[in-house]
Every structure is written in C-alpha cells, then in structure tokens.
Amino acid sequence: MPEQQAPEKIRPKDLGDYLEVMSKSVFQSGMSWKVVEVKWPGTQKAFRNFNAKKVASMTTRDIDKLVKDMRVIRNRRKLEAVVGNARQIIELDADHGSFKKYLRSKSGFEDRIKMLRKDFKFLGITGAYHFLYVVGEKVPSHSECQKRLEKL
C-alpha cells in the first residue's frame, strides 16, 4: 500500500479556505485519509463550499439532516465541530483584524498548537499541525514535530 503524500499547501484567500482545511483535519481525526478524500466532494457541497458565514449559520436541524446524509462522514460530533469552528474563525478574525494575525499571535510552534487546540473543537495535535502546514504557516518538519509535540 503506498504511503500518503504530504498534503498540498494553499494560500488562503478567505475564511472559507481556513475553514475547509481545518474541517478536513477534523474529519481525518481517527479515520483513514482515503475515506475522507472519497467523501470530500460531498462534504464540500453539504457544507456550502465552506463559506464560513453560511456554515456558521447552520442549525441543529441542519446537523440532524447531515447525520443522515450519505455524502458525508456522519459523525455528529465532527459535524457540530465544523459549525462551531466556523463561528470561532469568524469571531477570531474580527477580534484580531484577520485570521492570519490570530494564527501568528503566538510565536512558538508549540504555543500555536496549544492555542488552536484550545480555541477549536475536535482539533488534536496532528490535526493542528496539518492545518498549519496546509495553510502555509511555518512548521517544523514532520519528524521534528513529532519529537517536539510528544512533550505536550
């Protein structure tokens, strides 16, 4: 079986780009990345192409529908986390003047990981690392990261 390649980095253009990358990290927690990739086109549609404001406005009824939607990974806690994280991204963007400024409000890598884990739902150490890497923030190599994060 071939190993997973490093994910492609992006240059986020808006809050939706950050939300989509974070959401992929949320869904990959405890799951095969292949399953997430197969379900991703349906997940994008179900979450309104990750328009942060639209996702943030989703209700419990919307989540109830998604739990039955075969296009997505139907884990209620993860689905709720995506909606809650959208709301948090919007709030932090407003509080800091931009979401990028929020991400850079902590200088140390470990502090940034701790901050993300505290501020967002269902985002573990590996998910936070993946998120920072994909959105183009400075992170240590994967092997160095493992050594440094074992201490957290």
CATH number, residue 29? 1.10.340.30
Q: Which residue has the tokens 């967002």?
A: 120
Instruction: Look at residue 2 in the predicted model and tell me its pLDDT.
Output: 45
Coil, strand or helix: which one is 97? coil
Residue 33 lies in a domain: yes
Give the model confidence (pLDDT) of 41-59 as tens digits. 999 999 999 999 999 999 9
Residue 54 lies in a domain: yes
CA-to-CA distance for 116 and 72, rounded, in angstroms? 24
Residue 99 lies in a domain: yes
Name the DSSP letter for residue 71. Answer: T
Rounded to 10 degrees, the C-alpha dihedral 21/14/144/29 comes to: -20
pTM score, whole prediction: 0.92
Give the model confidence (pLDDT) of 97-130 as tens digits. 999 999 999 989 999 999 999 999 999 998 999 9
Q: What angle do CA 86, 90, 92 make, to 5 degrees?
A: 115
Q: At what angle do helices 15-28 and 33-46 cross, to 10 degrees?
A: 140
Give the model confidence (pLDDT) of 63-79 as tens digits. 999 999 999 999 999 99
Residue 10 lies in a domain: no
Residue 24 binned pLDDT confidence (cut-offs 50, 70, 90): very high
Residue 50 lies in a domain: yes
CA-to-CA distance for 5 and 2, rounded, in angstroms? 9
Name the DSSP letter for residue 123. Answer: -
Question: Residue 81: which domain range?
Answer: 15-149
User: Exposed, middle or buried: residue 137 (CB in 10 Å: 0-12, 13-18, 19+)?
Assistant: middle
pLDDT of 3 > 70? The answer is: no
> 10 Å Cβ neighbour count for 20?
24
Residue 8 lies in a domain: no
| Average pLDDT for the chain | 92
Overall number of domains in the chain? 1
